[in-house]
Chains A and B, each alone.
Chain A
Amino acid sequence: MEIILKEGEQNPGYEWELVRRAQKGDRAAFEEIYRRNAGRVYAVCLRITAHTGKAEELTQDVFVKCWEKLPSFRGESAFFSWLHRLAVNLVLMEQRSQKRRAAKEITTDALEMLEQSEPFNSSIGPFDLEKAIAQLPPQARTIFVLHDVEGYRHGEIAEMLKLSLGTCKAQLFRARKLLKEVLK
């Protein structure tokens, strides 16, 4: 996945310095890390969950997890790539447990039915891509966001979601098809 650095982040030495200080427990350095990265972490959480409250909670969880795990970061990849992967994993984990909870709460014959989302609203008025993405069925939305917005490849997504490559591609096709209806 290709990560584009923000302005002010072009100095990897400074970023590494912040990370190094935070690894030693420096909370001021960690706050700066948070301020620099919260927007992108929140964006991925919001686009996958399509829910502002959940996205806020997950963003907090990501940075708390980041704080816990920071000592294990060895700088083998760019810090943001590491953080981004942590965020995506946490969001996907939350989705899985949510699905499990939902499965226990409702009485239905097949878990697959959980994937059947409400009908796609193809007449949402003036074109608003964000709104249209939020209305996609959950799995199609997750794969669309990871592939087309965040730049992950099919192989990476299939591995993260424990899906076959074919399913992954089919869901992306489905998402794009639904979104194209809105673009018409």
Chain B
Amino acid sequence: MNCQEIEVRLNDHLDGILSASENAEVERHLESCLNCKEELLRLRNLMAETAALPKEMIPARDLWPKVAGRIALTKQTASRSFFGLPLNRTVGALAVAAVLILVAAGIFWKIKQSSTPFWEVGRLAGSPKVGSEKLFDTGKLRVGEWLETDDSSRAVISVGNIGHVQVEPNSRIRLVEARLTEHRLALQKGGLEAQISAPPRLFFVETPSATAVDMGCVYRLTVDESGGGQLEVTFGWVSLVRDGRESMVPAGAVCLIRSAIGPGTPFFKNKPARFQQALERLDFEQGGLPELEIILNESQSSDAFTLWHLLPRVAGVERELLYGRMAELTPLPEGVTSEGILRLDAEMLLRWKEEIDLKTEFFSEPQTKTPLTERSTL
């Protein structure tokens, strides 16, 4: 054992956490090494100085008057008053309730305003068609009708008062629902860019392999000939769902979609190709441990949300490895245990996700809404 290794061991030696044989090894080295003996002495001196530090320190001012003032307004936990909340939280709870009522009233008003039996549609380029009719300038897209663009045409759809959808060339899209509480399109092929400003879960786009649920955001969604496709979010969050499988995609991230499987695992689009390919194989091509190792080796703090999605999608040793890396990137919040996460306890997974989402939003691309280009005036 060399001096560098001994330096580390000296700490454990003095802390009394080495085994008898390890202690003996350290002692043997010390007998023949003056430098390490001096190091031990310095360490002992430091520990002696530390032990002699005063246990108490007096604040520069008396803090009791402030403490007394605060506890005069604070009920002890045993006394509860508002739906089981301590009194000091009651005011907060009432304030929150008032704000919620106001927000609900605002949302109701906005929804009422946005209520239309059809959606307006405008031509951006070429000759888009609504049903069998060519669109020359603006027109109406009624529930059940298809909007189609060829390789040289583009169009824009006004989603009530809550946003716009720009339809790319070679696309086929149908208006499914235009109700107050449900704005729903079906994208059969091609691509669209949606810019929505509304409460979550009011705007949906169905594709053959998954449904995009708007959470107040800007995104681009494409569908290829196979029915698969890709979602790229530039603002806010979008949820992609199919048969109970859900992927939450933040700004700056991409999520692939495959027919017969549904959404893959979302990832930040700036990840290296190795990472993306490994994730794709793991999601859609029966990839396993080799792919997971690439993902774990390439993962950083910003990828915690990607790893979180993989937890229920792998099992056994793979899940344990995944958990280990995740815990390094985002420590577990209080009350959440490794056992709970490994057995996929829903509540614990959600609590950890809340912690991870805070970090994810930090790593997301700048939170500015990119206006749709060449939007027509409807």
Which positions in A face B, CB cutoff 8 Å?
A: 4, 6, 23, 25, 27, 30-31, 34-35, 38-40, 42-43, 46, 52, 55-56, 59-60, 63-64, 67-72, 100, 103-104, 109-112, 129-130, 148-149, 154, 161-164, 169, 172-173, 176, 179-180, 183-184
Q: Which of the segments B66-74, B145-153, B314-322 contacts the partner chain?
A: B66-74
- Interface pair B53/A129, CB less than 8 Å apart: yes
A184 to B49: give the CA distance in the assembly, Å. 13
Q: Which of the segments B54-62, B125-133, B244-252 contacts the partner chain?
A: B54-62
Residues on the B chain within 8 Å of A63, using CB: 63, 67, 71
Residues on the B chain within 8 Å of A154, using CB: 17
Residues on the B chain within 8 Å of A64, using CB: 67, 70-71, 74
Residues on the B chain within 8 Å of A27, using CB: 68, 71-72
Residues on the B chain within 8 Å of A71, using CB: 76-78
A70 to B71: give the CA distance in the assembly, Å. 12
Please name the residue on chain A nearest to B45 by beta carbon.
A183
The one of A55, A72, A164 in contact with B77, judged by C-beta atoms closer than 8 angstroms, is A72
- Interface pair B54/A172, CB less than 8 Å apart: no
Chosen A-B contacts, 8 in total, with CB atoms closer than 8 Å, are A30-B71, A34-B64, A64-B70, A68-B74, A103-B359, A112-B301, A129-B53, A183-B42
- Interface pair A180/B42, CB less than 8 Å apart: yes
The one of A25, A52, A69, A110 in contact with B301, judged by C-beta atoms closer than 8 angstroms, is A110
Please name the residue on chain A nearest to B332 by beta carbon.
A162
**How many A-B contacts at CB < 8 Å in the complex?**
114
- Interface pair A43/B56, CB less than 8 Å apart: yes
- Interface pair B11/A173, CB less than 8 Å apart: yes
A172 to B76: give the CA distance in the assembly, Å. 38
A70 to B54: give the CA distance in the assembly, Å. 27
The DSSP consensus for interface residues of chain B is helix
- Interface pair B58/A42, CB less than 8 Å apart: yes
A180 to B63: give the CA distance in the assembly, Å. 35
- Interface pair A35/B64, CB less than 8 Å apart: yes
- Interface pair A68/B77, CB less than 8 Å apart: yes
- Interface pair A40/B55, CB less than 8 Å apart: yes
- Given contacts A40-B55, A169-B12, is CB(A104)–CB(B63) below 8 Å? no
- Interface pair A173/B359, CB less than 8 Å apart: no
Q: How close is B102's CB to chain A, nearest CB, in angstroms? A: 26
Please name the residue on chain B nearest to A89 by beta carbon.
B334
A43 to B54: give the CA distance in the assembly, Å. 8
- Interface pair A42/B64, CB less than 8 Å apart: no
- Interface pair A129/B63, CB less than 8 Å apart: no
- Interface pair A31/B362, CB less than 8 Å apart: no
Other than the given A27-B68, A103-B362, A172-B11, 20 more pairs (CB < 8 A) read A27-B72, A30-B71, A31-B68, A42-B56, A42-B59, A56-B59, A60-B67, A67-B76, A110-B301, A111-B362, A112-B301, A149-B53, A154-B17, A162-B332, A169-B12, A173-B11, A176-B11, A180-B46, A183-B45, A183-B46
Interface size on B, residues (CB 8 A): 45
Which positions in B face A, CB cutoff 8 Å?
A: 8, 11-12, 17, 42-43, 45-47, 49-51, 53-61, 63-64, 66-68, 70-72, 74-78, 86, 300-302, 327-328, 331-332, 358-359, 362
Q: How close is A153's CB to chain B, nearest CB, in angstroms? A: 9
Residues on the A chain within 8 Å of B49, using CB: 129, 183
Residues on the B chain within 8 Å of A59, using CB: 59, 63
Residues on the A chain within 8 Å of B328, using CB: 164
- Given contacts A42-B59, A60-B70, is CB(A162)–CB(B327) below 8 Å? yes
A148 to B75: give the CA distance in the assembly, Å. 36
Q: How close is A115's CB to chain B, nearest CB, in angstroms? A: 11
- Interface pair A179/B57, CB less than 8 Å apart: no
Please name the residue on chain A nearest to B62 by beta carbon.
A38
A67 to B61: give the CA distance in the assembly, Å. 21
